[in-house]
């Protein structure tokens, strides 16, 4: 089973990387971009075949390592 985890900063948390990208886009002539939020995508190949157990395992990984849950939120997608 494959899992994809999207990790983004929570709303209200400053995103200096996103702001730097927004500024650079403006400097390149892309003036219509009002805000940028930057995150990360983590893809996992799992041995687990049970969907519920796989999701629980990935959520545990996020809580312990993959996301800083104080300032970040995450979303898990699974595919067989």
Which residues does 31 contact at the CB level (< 8 Å), separation at least 6?
Answer: none
Structural domains present in the chain: 2-79 (3.30.1280.10)
Angstrom distance (rounded) from CA 62 to CA 7: 9
Give pTM, 2 decimals: 0.89
With the C-alpha atoms ordered 44, 11, 31, 24, is the resulting torsion angle positive or negative?
A: negative
The pLDDT of residue 6 is 98
Q: Which residues pair with 41 in a beta bridge?
A: 6
User: pLDDT (tens digit, 0 to 9) for every residue of the chain, 80 residues total?
Assistant: 999 999 999 999 999 999 999 999 999 999 999 999 999 999 999 999 999 999 999 999 999 999 999 999 999 999 99
């Amino acid at each position: 089973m494959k899992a994809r985890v999207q990790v983004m900063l929570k709303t209200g948390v400053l995103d200096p990387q996103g702001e730097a990208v927004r500024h650079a886009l403006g400097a390149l002539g892309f003036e219509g971009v009002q805000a940028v939020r930057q995150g990360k995508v983590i893809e996992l190949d799992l041995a687990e075949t049970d969907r519920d157990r796989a999701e629980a395992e990935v959520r545990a990984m996020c809580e312990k390592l993959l996301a800083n849950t104080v300032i970040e939120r995450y979303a898990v997608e699974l595919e067989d």
